[in-house]
Structure 1
Amino acid sequence: MTTPTIRLAGHSVSRLGYGTMQLPGPGVWGPPADRDAAIGVMRAALDHGVTHIDTADFYGPAVANEVLREALHPYPENLLIATKVGVVRGPDRSWLPAASPSQLVNQVHDNLRRLGLDRLDLVYLRVGGDGLLQPDSTPFEESWGTLAELIDKGDIGHLGLSGITPEHLPRAAAIAPVAAVQNRFNLFDRSGAPALAACRAHGAEPVPFVPYFPLGTAEQRQDPRLTAIAQRIQAATAQVALAWLLAHHPSILPIPGTSHRTHLEQNLAAAEVAARLTDADMTELDALAHP
């Protein structure tokens, strides 16, 4: 099974990637329920042509990166591993901003050590622009500049932004190039649309846009309107949700995650579903956005 490719952070990667957020236990906390199965699904992703894996050391915390290393190290040369910094987990499992220079340097080094890498291909700075994280007290330019210095030191290859408002993009680009943007955006939740529009309008080429939570929730996928469309085109609702993202714009790279091999294979088949979507299907799907 193959998926279309796109340039991301100096690599040619599969448009459908894999996110590690579902590998740890409930609430993205603690070890996987079945570590062998978690390792197996990651290896299966590569077997099916995935060359873009999105992770973070605060998933678990540390669990996702440790499982990733156990499953795939030494990594194939064509694999791009993207990670995120700017967040730590509290003892109550909360998600806390942590973007001071010293915190960011420590997080980058933690990622390097746990992943077993000498350099991180792509590092996103997670900021509080999309309502899911409180902004850190450190000025944005100071945080971004700290990561730019780590490019010069060889710890990082490329930088991306996550959870931004459109205004963050030019502010960041004035200091260092932005290789990708990762915001919440899916068939039901279009809150990331302004950031996507900013990426499409930025420079001669669109900035690659990596939507997180690309499937929406299981409850949202039970929307009878989506169910009817899925039945008509003979696809699962999750496949239709991913296919809509792929058909929405060629610069979009979804990163669905799962701990089940069956779901992995189903998700990757969404590229074939996208090729079948008609203009009428897209019009119907465009109308599914929830307030």
Structure 2
Amino acid sequence: MTTVNAAQSGRFRIGGAFEVNRLGFGAMRIVGRGVWGPSADRAEALKTLRRLPDLGVDFIDTADSYGPNFSEELIREAIAPYGKIHVGTKGGLARTGPNIWIPLGRPEYLIQQAHTSRWRLGVEIIDLWQLHRIDSKVPAKEQFDAIATLIKDKVIRCAGLSEVSVAEIEAAGKVFPVAAVQNRYNLTDRTSEAALDHCAKHGIGFIPWFPLNAGELTKEGAALDAIARKHKATPGQIALAWLLKRSPVMLPIPGTGKAAHLEENVGAASIKLSDDEFATLDRAGRGG
């Protein structure tokens, strides 16, 4: 039996509704290049997904736009019935080609997409559904009202937002309980620091996307490289360990389409950084 287990990352209760191990899995990379079309290695993608329960990963983050549709369909094929695994998905983007993401927040579209995600995933109710982007062409209140309707109609259990400011989180919170926020955040990108602090204050789960970007810090002799060598770990594992230590509401979702890489990512859950190591990385990440 493997000793690598996401349970070592600690637990977090999302929206007061369900608990997950804090280190989850992002399912964007189990589809084709440009997040478009089916996976080039379907067998490996399925193998990766089927390893999740063995490694204690019980939270999967996906979206209707990953593929589109292919990620949700593959997750159902690989894992359903889900047992202890909770799947969060997102809606609100249209796809017209590789690497093309178009916000589409009309209420009828959001409601339609939540229903179709539910059917593709094969669940009666989606544990967590997040608005992938607030569409600037549609009044935000109309988008939030659609989400409230989805909760009332028991299509989704909890709802969240992605790439939002504190003001937007507060505005949405007047319409429905915000259970999670998914913003870009990593060692070198702290643009969402205020949003993270707000989430921590209010018990909102913070899901950092692009969690492994560390840029220059991975160079030989740099802070991340030095600390990784000390822990006999990879720079990526240390970057994830730093995120986990940063806040108790932090829910990193490193993604991969390779089973070996998945196991490496989950290995970060067992790495405990000292306060000095955390501070050193924090300063380096800020460029100070």
2:205 aligned counterpart, secondary structure: coil
Paired AA for residue 278 in structure 1? S
Query: Is 1:210 matched up with 2:172?
Result: no
* Partner amino acid, structure 2, of 1:238: G
The 5-angstrom pairing of residues 59-70 of structure 1 reads 59-70=66-77
Contact 2:147 2:176 in 1 (8 A): no
Q: 1:23 aligns with which of 24, 27, 30?
A: 30
The match for 2:194 is 194
Q: Summarize deviations over 1:157-180 as a string: whole Å, max 9, x none.
A: 111111101101111111111111
Distance 2:104 2:57 in 1: 30
Please state whether the residue corresponding to 1:145 is helix, strand or coil: helix
Question: TM-score with structure 2 length normalisation?
Answer: 0.92
Q: Name the count of aligned residue pairs.
A: 278
Query: 1:7 is matched with which residue: 9, 13, 16?
Result: 13
Within the candidate set 269, 280, 283, 2:279 is matched to: 283
Q: Partners of 1:15 and 1:269 in 2: how far apart? A: 13
Q: Spell out, residue by residue over 1:176-223, the C-alpha distance to the aligned partner (whole angstroms, 9 max, x if none).
A: 111111111011111121110121233xxx211111111116x55633
For residues 21-73 of structure 1, give each alpha carbon's deviation from its aligned partner in whole angstroms, at most 9, with x where no partner exists.
11111111111111111011111011111110000010011111111111011
Question: Matched residues in 2 for 1:213 and 1:185: separation?
Answer: 7
Give the alignment's Cα RMSD to 1 decimal.
1.5
Residue aligning to 1:132: none
Give me the identity figure in percent: 40
Question: 1:205-242, CA deviations, whole angstroms, 9 ceiling, x for partnerless residues?
Answer: x211111111116x556334121221122211010000
**Aligned equivalents of 1:81, 1:171: Cα separation in 2:** 25
Point out where structure 1 has 5 or more consecutive residues left out of the alignment: 129-134
5+ residue gaps, structure 2, are: none
Give the Cα–Cα distance (whole angstroms) in 2 for the partners of residues 46 and 136 of structure 1. Answer: 39
The reply to whether residue 146 of structure 1 matches residue 146 of structure 2 is yes
Ranked by relative contact order (alpha carbons within 8 Å, sequence separation 6 or more), the top structure is 2
Deviation, 1:112, is 1.3
> Does the 8 Å contact 1:221/1:238 carry over to 2?
no
Deviation at 1:20, TM superposition (A): 0.2
User: Partner of 1:104 in structure 2?
Assistant: 110
